[in-house]
Amino acid sequence: MFNNAGELEAALQAGFTFYATRTILSGEADELIELAQASLRDLEIE
CA distance 26 to 38: 21
pTM for the model: 0.69
* Cα–chain center distance at 41: 15
Yes or no: say if 32 and 24 are a contact pair by the CB < 8 Å rule. yes
- Read off the pLDDT of residues 4-41 as tens digits, 9 standing for 90 and up: 777 878 888 999 999 999 999 999 999 999 999 998 88
